[in-house]
Structure 1
Amino acid sequence: MNVAVVLFTSDLRLHDNPVLCSALRDADRVVPLFVRDDAVHRAGFDAPNRLAFLADCLADLDAGLRKRGGRLIVRTGPVAKEVRRLVEETGAGAVHLAAGVSGYAQRREEQLRTALADSDCELRLHDAVVTALAPGRVVPTGKDHFAVFTPYFRRWEAAGVRGTLTAPRAVRLPDGDLSSDPLPSRDGVGDVSPALADGGEQAGRKLVTSWLSGDLADYADGHDDLAGDATSRLSPHLHFGTVSAAELVGRAREKGGPGGEAFVRQLAWRDFHHQVLAARHDASWSDYRPRQDRWRSDEDEITAWKTGRTGYPVVDAAMRQLAHEGWMHNRGRLLAASFLTKTLYVDWRVGARHFLELLVDGDIANNQLNWQWAAGTGTDTRPNRVLNPVTQGKRYDPHGDYVRRWVPELAEVKGSAVHEPWKVKDALDYPDPVVDLGEARARFEKARGLD
């Protein structure tokens, strides 16, 4: 009997999963495994919102496997140790795993190689599982990654993504009883955002179907509309791999039109950040392009930003949405990040860490590198741009509906006036601005040597 282990990580799905399909093709029996790794807790990456969403994902994955004759085996402990133990229990000849790009993923792969080195079991890594195109698939001449998105996107489009795989009809476990820890439950997680979305492949695929048949058509024009919320909200499912980036690219291209093209471009942005991090692991916490910044650290201003009480309504609305949903509109993320790093001139790592504490889609590649883009220490070709929260609010929330939705103190302020701090200063319990925008911009430009 030929046995393989499938180590699920950021690919918690049955549809279009090259890891699972390869194992089922090569082995008679397959053991689906998920390891609750102690290292994730020690690193502080097991934020409540992601733990709750993960519990949904694992329950859904287990249910799908059981319909096919299998089940999910859950173990707790160091990944390499638990995988080696399961290999010894089953006599598995291969462990299949989606390749990752973060420092944690790279260490996990190396630890697995070491743990399996003296066994008859082979570690098999699979590319283009977490992303649509594998990091390193396209590179500029003489370099190991693209540092600018536009040339990357041209090569990315020309390379094309792999075809979509169907979900397996059957998954057969080895004979005998395999012990498993209980599946985690969302109910067992505290401090979860009140309106956190449901996780799992079924929820993800329903969302994909609704998105492709609905708002995708208007995505090119509407994706920055804060109040309209015309984004896919698929980022948590992409992070946990309950939907496939490659499948999304293929299906969006089939739909075509400006909306489909714009959405595919956003998926390429996700791949772009993964290929940057694959080449520069230190970019998760170190400046990709240092600007000799001497960041400020005003705890009162940082607290005001975190709690949505800066006195700038669109920034406050975005931060309150994050706290309530564990998710934030893409334009809101950009405005909140620009305000912290450029207007308050606070280290981007402070903001990135806070986002990772709350975001259900808190992905190291996309979160950290988007923060660096906003701070001007990343891949932005205009590193010193400063986004004015008043003009940005009027542009992307022209009627003020987004602000009134999340900042109830301003519910009676009409129209775009809600974005003007000097017009809302008398609103009940709403704070005065923490900083003057003109003074803040002058301070930032002086710090960057632009004055």
Structure 2
Amino acid sequence: MNVSVVLFTADLRVHDHPPLRAALDGSRRVVPLFVRDRAVDAAGFAAPNRLAFLADCLHDLDAELRRRGGRLVLRSGDLVTEVCRVAAEADADEVHLAADVSRHAQRREERLRRALEADGRRLHVHETVTTAVAPGAVTPSASDHFAVFTPYFRQWAQQQLRDPLGAPRTVRVPDGVGSEELPSRAGLTGVAEGLARGGEAEGRKRLGAWLRSGIAAYEDRHDDLAGDATSRLSPHLHFGTLSPVELVHRAREAGGPGAEAFVRQLAWRDFHRQVLSARPAAAADDYRTQHDRWRSERSAHEDVEAWKEGRTGYPVVDAAMRQLLHEGWMHNRGRLLTAGFLTKTLYVDWRVGARYFLAHLVDGDVANNQLNWQWMAGTGTDTRPNRVLNPVAQAKRHDPDGAYVRRWVPELAAVEGPAVHEPWKLRGPDLEALGYPEPVVDLSEGLTRFKRARGRD
């Protein structure tokens, strides 16, 4: 046997891909494989926006492999069963896979290892494919993971990253391994109208543009809602069409305060993965309980629906939620404001919001989504768990002229300047003519309820 299988998961690229390069070592033939894991679908992660982006990524990966003489093999079903089946069909003696951190991924990896070993085959799991620094590579002296970002970042920043790997020139695939037809966006329903295109080629194009004309101003403009001055690379990191190792290297090469701020955000991504790797239950349970008695989705139904639909009466919150519905993506400052509003102003269980975001976000993943929601709810790693972001004050700071709000809330398009952030002050006929709802709750009432619930009154 001189054949390897490379199982692609959240690493849909050919550049800087350690499993692919290792599988090709010694001029071996390789089966590039992607399995549409039915367990992932059954768990509710097969959201339309991510399926559409995934379809783009798979077509692009197949095209990149074909340029090198190879092709992508697609299968559907139980991942372990399908990988073993393909390995048998190709007479492969080894399988290469990128490490992952979720409980499902860890259990699946162990099942796959046992099944392959029973067939006399080896599983090779590669770190730093979907992270810049592997979970567990840096730990405090008294724990298996860092629970606070700042000390984590100090050690993370001192790590010597591996060098990025070039894309292979040639990929030889053995004959006789069949593939299903690659999926397409065309047959999907419920996809956001403004959803971005996926694929490695698109990701590298965006990265090049970001390094040329965006990253230098990132420190000053990353919270500018109307300026849209973030990288928008998060979907490509989620699907692995871009390598976090390469991104850190290239940002550091660019240098400057903007690049340093961008690298810090990449470190946050690794931070959440090392937390989830050590505490997989945090995907569904409080990382640090505050003993909340949250309002449920049922008991707060009207408020939750208003939040989902972008009609809470707080323009910046509604603008962000409408951006999510239109693009399948949301500005990071908008994510903080909408999550904080749901959990602390409306006092609704963070899991309600986390589920809704996962149903729509193209970059939605367990580590970043769940742990960012917990951070805003005060049940996660935030060292100030009871902080409350005032949406009006935040809007005036990060959307001072109201351009972001007017872009996404057309009812308020005629309201000039910062007055757009407090339309209820217009009163009378002027307010009625807008067709925009009254606030679902007074901010002071929401704050009082939250403080009482947390025993802070």
- Aligned pairs for 1:290-439 within 5 A: 290-297=289-296, 298-424=300-426, 426=431, 427-439=433-445
Determine the C-alpha separation between the residues in 1 that align with 2:438 and 2:263: 41
Q: Equivalent residue of 1:124, what SS?
A: strand
* Residue 109 (str. 1) matches residue 115 (str. 2): no
Aligned residue identity for 1:359:
L
1:181-210, CA deviations, whole angstroms, 9 ceiling, x for partnerless residues? 000001111100000000000000000000
CA distance in structure 2 between the aligned counterparts of 1:412 and 1:429, rounded to whole angstroms: 12
Q: Stretches of 4+ moved more than 4 A in 1?
A: none
Verify the 8 A CA contact 2:90 2:176 in the aligned structure 1. no
Distance in 2 (CA, whole Å) between partners of 1:119 and 1:27 is 23
Partner AA of 1:265 in structure 2: R
Aligned-residue offset at 1:213: 0.4
Q: Which amino acid aligns with 2:114?
A: T
Instruction: List per-residue Cα deviations over 1:396-421 (Å, max 9, x = no partner).
Output: 00000000000000001011111114
Q: 2:450 aligns with which of 437, 441, 444?
A: 444
State the Cα distance separating 1:26 from its structure 2 match: 4.8
| Uncovered stretches (5+) of structure 2, i.e. residues with no partner | none
Label 1:424 to 1:121 Cα distance change in 2 as closer, same or farther (>3 A): farther
Residue 41 of structure 1, CA deviation: 1.1
Matched, 1:13 2:13: yes
1:48 corresponds in structure 2 to 48
Alignment of 1:40-439 (within 5 A): 40-174=40-174, 176-297=175-296, 298-424=300-426, 426=431, 427-439=433-445
Q: Secondary structure at the match of 2:446?
A: helix
Shift, 1:105, TM fit = 0.8
Moved more, 161-170 or 201-210: 161-170
User: Could you tell me how far 1:301 is from its partner in structure 2?
Assistant: 0.1
TM-score by length of 2: 0.97
Instruction: Return the offset for 1:95.
Output: 0.3
1:438: Cα distance to partner?
A: 0.4
Q: Is the 8 A contact 1:318 1:332 kept in 2?
A: yes
**CA-to-aligned-CA distance 1:370-389 (integer Å, 9 cap, x gap):** 00000000000000000001
Going from structure 1 to structure 2, the CA distance change for 1:132 and 1:424 (only over 3 Å counts) comes to farther
Number of residue pairs matched by the alignment:
450
Q: Which moved more, 1:134-143 or 1:309-318?
A: 134-143
Q: TM-score, normalised by structure 1?
A: 0.99
Q: CA deviation at 1:392?
A: 0.4
Change (3 A) 1:379 1:388: same
Letter in 2 for 1:450: R
Structure 1 unmatched runs, 5+: none
**Cα deviation, residue 424, structure 1:** 4.9
Note if contact 1:410-1:424 (Cα within 8 Å) is conserved in structure 2: no
Contact kept? 2:6, 2:33, Cα under 8 Å: yes
The percent identity for this pair of structures is 68
**Residue identity in the other structure for 1:351:** G
CA distance, structure 2, for counterparts of residue 286 and residue 268 of structure 1: 23
SS of 1:5 mapped into structure 2: strand
For the residues of structure 2 that align with 1:95 and 1:429, how far apart are their CA atoms? Answer: 59
Residues in 1 aligned to 2:158 and 2:40: alpha-carbon distance in whole angstroms: 37
Give the C-alpha shift of residue 117 in structure 1: 2.4
- Report the 3-state secondary structure (helix = DSSP H, G, I; strand = E; otherwise coil) of the residue aligned with 2:110: helix
Partners of 2:29 and 2:193 lie apart in 1 by 41
Deviations 1:314-357 (CA, angstroms, capped at 9, x unpaired): 00000000000000000000000000000000000000000000
2:6 match: secondary structure: strand
Alpha-carbon distance between aligned partners in 2 of 1:68 and 1:140, rounded to the nearest angstrom = 44
Paired residue type of 1:350 = V
Alignment correspondent of 1:22: 22
Verify the 8 A CA contact 2:94 2:124 in the aligned structure 1. Answer: yes
